[in-house]
Amino acid sequence: MNRRRLIIAGAAAAAIIVALVVVLARRGGEQPVTAGGTPAASPQGPASAERKITATLFFISEDGLSLQPSQREVAFGDPITEQARRIIEAQLGAAPAPLASAIPEGTKLRALYVTERGDAFVDLTREVTARHTGGSLDELFTVYSIVNALTVNLPAIVRVQILIDGKEADTLAGHVDLRHPLTKSLKWIKTDNPS
C-alpha cells in the first residue's frame, strides 16, 4: 500500500511541475491569436522581419589589394543563428560599385550553425571552390570576408569554420587551412586612417 501511495504522490508532483513549467514558459512568449488560429499582428510596432540592423560587410577594394568594409542594411534576425544567416546571405550578394565580391558567383549558403561556445559553422555550396579564381590573396579575401562578417557584427561569435557541401574542407584553393575554426583577422582590411 505504501509503495502505491508513493507512486501516486510522485506522479501528482511531476504533473504539477510540468504544468508550472508550461505556464511559466507561455507567460513570456504568448502571442495573441485570431479567431482563425493564426497569431495576431503585434500592436507594439513592426514585425521583426521588417526590422533592420546595419552590418559591416567586406568586399575587395578597387585596387584589388585589400578588403574594404561596407555598411549594409540587413534584416534583423533572432536568435543569433538567424541573424548570422542573414549577414552571410548579404555577404554572398553583389558588392557595391566599385568594390568586388570576394566570394565566387553562384555560391549559396546551405546551412549555418552557432554553438554555445561561440563557434559558427558556415556550410557553403561547392561553387565556392569550383568557381574560385585561385591565388593565395584571393583565397584569404574569400575566407576572411566570411569570418569577419560574422565576428565583427556578432561579438558572441568568436570563431568560424567554413564547410563545403556539408563536409570539412582542407582549403578552398590550396592556401588557407580550413580544418579548424578561424578567428577574426583585420590584417587585410583597408582603413581610411593610415597607421
Q: Where are the alpha helices (DSSP H) in the chain?
A: 2-29, 80-91, 127-130, 136-153
Query: For the segment 98-147, what is each residue's pLDDT rounded down to a tens digit?
Result: 999 999 899 999 999 999 999 999 999 998 867 667 776 788 999 999 99
Which of 24-38, 65-79, 177-191 has maximum average pLDDT? 65-79
- Determine the Cα–Cα distance for residues 124 and 134; give it in Å rounded to an integer: 17
Query: For the segment 35-74, what is each residue's pLDDT rounded down to a tens digit?
Result: 333 344 443 444 445 899 999 999 999 999 999 999 999 9
Hey, what CATH topology would domain 52-168 get? GMP Synthetase; Chain A, domain 3 (3.30.300)
Mapped onto helix, strand or coil, the DSSP state of residue 189 is strand
Rg of the chain taking only CA atoms, in angstroms = 23
- Sign of torsion, CA 86 89 95 101? positive
- Determine the Cα–Cα distance for residues 135 and 99; give it in Å rounded to an integer: 19
The amino acid sitting at 33 is V
177 in Cβ contact with 170 (< 8 Å): yes
The cell for 76 is 534583423
pTM for this predicted structure:
0.70
The cell for 173 is 584553393
